[in-house]
Amino acid sequence: MAPGNLHPLDIEEGNLLVLASDNDPRLLPILRKNKGLASVKDSFGYNCFHAAVSYDHLDLAQAMVKELDVDVNILDDDNETALYLVETLEAAKLLVEELNINYMNKNKNGHTAQEKLAEEGEFNKIAVYLKVWELEHTTAEELFAKKTAGEKAEKAEKAEKEAEAAKTKGKKVLAKGAANAKTNSAAKGKGKAPKKATFADEADDAAEEDPVLTPVDIEKEFKSFKKDELVEVADPDLLDRIKKIAIRDDYLKESGQLELRKLVANMVKETGSRKPDRLPRDV
């Protein structure tokens, strides 16, 4: 037995993990006298069973489970079973087919042993074997449930990213609003009229979020307005002028975008004082 000031893994014959790694013949008699020692973990949650599997001492590993009552699903600090440590197909088959290890266990990163082995790419044959075993021993309902769970997780992740993006955009809007309020307050203090937001300002703000404005976007946007909010802008002549910009080589460049925004700005200005047939003809 280990002296009081030593870790339980350190005994007179040596360290239990080292003995298991070396498949030392002295180990099993020691463990049979004190079965509890077979499940003792080190500071990382590693134990004799993990060591035996890792070094492919399969007879020793099997004896620990069947004779010494070691839990085949014993976990280390990464929430991983011995299946994550296998380096031979024989070891994987022993754990899965004979000792009934939980091959669907997930570690702290949410990966099964099969997924981790496949990702690392070092033991591909084992990863393939585990995947085939999983498919052969999983019902259609379980596969559907797993697929649904995966889709829900993806949707939740996407929603979280969209919420974060919206939050960031909202902060930008609030910051700009605060800056404008400060500017207007300063102007008022100097006896100047506060600056009003113009369509051009809004167009610039939109350009910051979405720098590419296409004629199709404009056409859709203005066709969606209610008639009592805006004159009928779906005028063929106006749409023709918008579409002419679309076929120009520079419509995605700064010059084309500027011209497109000017057309929209002028169009909106005209809605307050002119009839549709008096919209500006020249862009």
Decide if 14 is inside a domain.
yes
Global pTM? 0.51
Side-chain half-sphere CA neighbours of 108 within 13 A:
5
Domain count, the chain: 2
Could you report the per-residue pLDDT of 6-28, keeping only the tens digit for each?
688 988 889 999 999 999 999 99
For 203-229, write each residue's pLDDT tens digit: 455 445 444 555 555 555 555 544 444
Q: Report the pLDDT value the prediction gives residue 265, as an integer from 0 to 100.
A: 67
Residue 227 included in any domain:
yes
Q: Say how far apart CA 57 and CA 91 lie, in whole Å.
A: 9
Residue 10 backbone phi and psi in degrees, to 5: -95, 110
Is the residue at 254 inside a domain?
Answer: yes
Q: Establish if 65 belongs to a structural domain.
A: yes
149 falls within a domain: no
* Residue 107 near residue 80 (C-beta atoms within 8 A): yes
- Residue-number span of the structural domain to which 100 is assigned: 10-111
Q: Is residue 57 part of a domain?
A: yes
Residue 81 lies in a domain: yes
Q: Quick check: 149 pLDDT over 80?
A: no
